[in-house]
């Protein structure tokens, strides 16, 4: 029995401005109608159980909604209060799934990878499953096609015609000189971060080599609380857990590790240049997405989300335009975008955290305009959903219904508004917006006041248990 574990805790800063803290790369579409998170689940073998998801509090509704969109269920969504790397995350899932009567084979997959050749991927999983049944801890090593400095490497005891290899060592992301040496030797594979093993064997090896991690994870799950699909930990116990990857905690020490080679057009989408390498190019080597016009341009990635982008006479660039941020960089420096994100965070810029369009468990809002003392938003509430019962210290709000029917709570009054009708919510008044209809409710909200930040929300009741 294969039990998939989908690890979905990355922030994807190297794909800014498309990927952001509250909507990282695993939850966005990078070339098709589904997201990387959804693709990871859709490519699971048919015989696999429903996956268990590991993510943080900020992403819990994104994960649940994206499962719903593809009509898939989960065994549960474990919510980490803070990311502690892969060894604790996998331990939580292994402890949750293991029992005296069940010892499933765990298939550990990051949620943010591209794998184009699903058949080869499934064939590698079958090989790994056979090895896991024999109590091996299996990782998948990607057959390298170049001397890449952006990946870790696995040194393997290569044997001709073998379906798997013993592992000699793990290597960190190398310098260009060492990457060239690894690639030329033919004895190294890229470290994919994907694993397969029995729950019991992983827990046994973790207790041997990193007992503090195991103890903290056990304590975190002692009185965990199930909230719909969400599994909430004892946060103060999990915060004590050491932060360590499975490579450092277990795989580098165990005598039972093996690697299965994988050649399936894998890409960890770690940078814009990496993403570009996975896409079809025109005759000049360009990748164009969205409303883009190029003239005398070559070897360039140009993306536009909402308006015309044009470029003339340039080469080797990454151009990414979203509704609130524009990125221009040479391909050579595309790995350094994280430095821009760090500066945005230092300046408390919202562009590091969210897009202009922000998703909430009840729907979304889109910030249309911001000025001195005012802000305009388009708000969409899904059928059957409602915002929290709340009030504001610093702002008043005007609501105009664009489509659907709004149920309004304002102070002691409860009333309905139809299309083209409006209402006023005074500063300090308790209020709520609700959609009891069968279609989306859309309103235009105009805020006025001396402070318009999202933290000026005092929630009195909330169906989604937010603070």
Choose the final residue of a domain: 210, 239, 267: 267
Same domain for 202 and 186 = yes
Give the count of domains, the chain: 3
Same domain for 426 and 375 = yes
Evaluate whether residue 57 is within a structural domain. yes
Evaluate whether residue 369 is within a structural domain. yes
Q: Report d(CA 45, CA 365) in Å as an integer.
A: 36
Quick check: 34 pLDDT over 80? yes
Q: For position 149, what pLDDT does the model report?
A: 86
Quick check: 161 pLDDT over 80? no
pLDDT in tens, 437-463: 999 999 999 999 999 988 899 999 998
Evaluate whether residue 171 is within a structural domain. yes
Residue pointed to by tokens 């940078």:
271
Mean of the per-residue pLDDT values of the chain = 93
- C-alpha gyration radius of the chain: 24
Average pLDDT of the residues in 346-361: 90
Q: Report d(CA 346, CA 348) in Å as an integer.
A: 6
Same domain for 388 and 315 = no
Supply φ then ψ for residue 393, to 5 degrees. -85, -30
Evaluate whether residue 351 is within a structural domain. no
Quick check: 334 pLDDT over 90? no
Evaluate whether residue 155 is within a structural domain. yes
The DSSP 8-state label assigned to residue 333 in this structure reads: G
Average pLDDT of the residues in 397-406: 97
Q: Report d(CA 382, CA 450) in Å as an integer.
A: 30
Same domain for 290 and 263 = no
Q: What's the CATH code of the domain at 76?
A: 3.90.550.10
Same domain for 283 and 240 = no
Question: DSSP per residue over 12-24, as a string?
Answer: -GGGTTTSBTTB-
In the chain, % of residues over pLDDT 70: 100
Asked if 419 and 404 count as a contact pair (C-beta separation under 8 A), the reply is yes
Same domain for 307 and 241 = no
Evaluate whether residue 325 is within a structural domain. yes
Asked if 152 and 173 count as a contact pair (C-beta separation under 8 A), the reply is yes
Q: Report d(CA 437, CA 441) in Å as an integer.
A: 8
Report which of residues 47 and 226 the model is more confident about: 47
Same domain for 125 and 242 = yes
Average pLDDT of the residues in 311-339: 94
Candidate from 44-53, 223-232, 242-251 with smallest mean pLDDT: 223-232
Q: For position 3, what pLDDT does the model report?
A: 96
Asked if 140 and 128 count as a contact pair (C-beta separation under 8 A), the reply is yes
Average pLDDT of the residues in 322-333: 93
Q: Report d(CA 66, CA 323) in Å as an integer.
A: 22
Of 392, 417, 391, nearest in space to 404 by CA: 417
Q: What's the CATH code of the domain at 449?
A: 2.60.120.10
Same domain for 232 and 289 = no
Q: Report d(CA 456, CA 364) in Å as an integer.
A: 18
pLDDT in tens, 16-33: 999 999 899 999 988 788
Evaluate whether residue 350 is within a structural domain. no
Same domain for 161 and 67 = yes
Same domain for 324 and 219 = no
* Antiparallel, parallel or unpaired: β 2-7 and 105-110: parallel
Q: For position 33, what pLDDT does the model report?
A: 87
Same domain for 136 and 30 = yes
Quick check: 407 pLDDT over 80? yes
Q: Residue 199 — very low, low, confident or very high, per pLDDT cuts 50/70/90?
A: very high
pLDDT in tens, 257-279: 999 999 999 998 888 998 998 89
The DSSP 8-state label assigned to residue 247 in this structure reads: I
Token readout for 307 is 């308006």
Candidate from 96-110, 123-137, 415-429 with smallest mean pLDDT: 96-110
Helix (H) or strand (E) holding 41: helix 36-42
pLDDT in tens, 209-224: 999 999 999 999 998 7
Q: For position 11, what pLDDT does the model report?
A: 76
Q: For position 227, what pLDDT does the model report?
A: 72
Asked if 301 and 278 count as a contact pair (C-beta separation under 8 A), the reply is no
Asked if 201 and 131 count as a contact pair (C-beta separation under 8 A), the reply is no
Tell me the CA distances in angstroms from 160 to 186, 187, 265, one per residue in order: 12, 11, 22
Q: Residue 54 — very low, low, confident or very high, per pLDDT cuts 50/70/90?
A: very high
- Backbone CA torsion sign across 382, 386, 391, 397: positive
Q: For position 434, what pLDDT does the model report?
A: 97
Choose the final residue of a domain: 267, 283, 299: 267
Token readout for 112 is 């943010």
Q: For position 101, what pLDDT does the model report?
A: 82
Q: For position 463, what pLDDT does the model report?
A: 86
Residue pointed to by tokens 């004590």:
240
Domain ranges, residue 428: 357-461
Choose the final residue of a domain: 215, 233, 267: 267
Angle among Cα 252, 253, 255 to the nearest 5 degrees reads 105
Average pLDDT of the residues in 328-356: 92
Evaluate whether residue 345 is within a structural domain. no
Q: For position 344, what pLDDT does the model report?
A: 95
Same domain for 223 and 110 = yes
Asked if 286 and 279 count as a contact pair (C-beta separation under 8 A), the reply is no
């Amino acid at each position: 029995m294969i039990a998939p574990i989908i690890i979905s805790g990355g922030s994807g800063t190297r794909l800014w401005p498309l990927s952001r803290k509250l909507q990282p790369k695993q939850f966005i579409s990078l070339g098709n109608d589904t997201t990387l998170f959804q693709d990871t689940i859709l490519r699971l073998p048919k015989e696999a159980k429903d996956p268990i998801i590991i993510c943080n509090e900020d992403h819990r509704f994104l994960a649940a909604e994206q499962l719903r969109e593809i009509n898939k269920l989960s065994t549960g969504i474990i919510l980490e209060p803070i990311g502690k790397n892969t060894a604790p995350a996998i331990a939580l899932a292994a402890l949750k799934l293991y029992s005296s009567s069940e010892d499933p084979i765990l298939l550990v997959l990051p949620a943010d990878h591209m794998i184009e050749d699903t058949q080869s991927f499934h064939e590698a999983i079958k090989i790994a499953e056979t090895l896991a049944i024999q109590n091996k801890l299996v990782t998948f090593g990607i057959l390298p096609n170049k001397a890449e400095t952006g990946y870790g490497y696995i040194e393997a005891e290569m044997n001709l015609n073998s379906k798997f290899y013993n592992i000699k060592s793990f290597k960190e992301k190398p310098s260009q000189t060492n990457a060239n040496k690894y690639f030329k030797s033919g004895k190294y594979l890229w470290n994919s971060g994907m694993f397969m093993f029995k729950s019991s064997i992983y827990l046994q090896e973790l207790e041997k080599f990193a007992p503090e991690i195991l103890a903290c994870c056990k304590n975190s799950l002692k009185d965990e609380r199930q909230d719909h699909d969400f599994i909430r930990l004892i946060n103060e116990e999990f915060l004590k857990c050491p932060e360590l990857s499975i490579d450092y905690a277990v795989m580098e020490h165990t005598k039972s590790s093996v690697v299965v080679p994988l050649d399936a057009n894998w890409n960890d989408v770690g940078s814009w240049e990496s993403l570009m390498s996975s896409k079809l190019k025109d005759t000049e080597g360009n990748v164009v997405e969205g409303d883009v016009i190029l003239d005398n341009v070559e070897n360039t990635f140009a993306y536009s989300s909402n308006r015309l982008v044009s470029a003339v006479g340039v080469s080797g660039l990454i151009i990414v335009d979203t509704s609130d941020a524009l990125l221009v960089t040479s391909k050579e420096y595309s790995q350094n975008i994280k430095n821009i994100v760090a500066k945005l965070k230092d300046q408390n810029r919202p562009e590091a955290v969210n897009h202009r369009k922000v998703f909430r468990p009840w729907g979304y809002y889109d910030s249309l305009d911001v000025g001195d003392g005012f802000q305009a938003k388009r708000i969409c509430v899904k059928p059957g959903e409602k915002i929290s019962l709340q009030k504001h210290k610093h702002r008043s709000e005007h609501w105009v219904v664009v489509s659907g029917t709004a149920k309004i709570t304002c102070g002691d009054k409860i009333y309905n508004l139809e299309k083209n009708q409006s209402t006023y919510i005074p500063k300090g008044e308790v209020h709520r917006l609700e959609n009891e209809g069968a279609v989306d409710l859309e309103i235009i909200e105009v805020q006025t006041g001396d402070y318009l930040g999202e933290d000026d929300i005092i929630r009195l009741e909330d169906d989604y248990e937010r603070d």
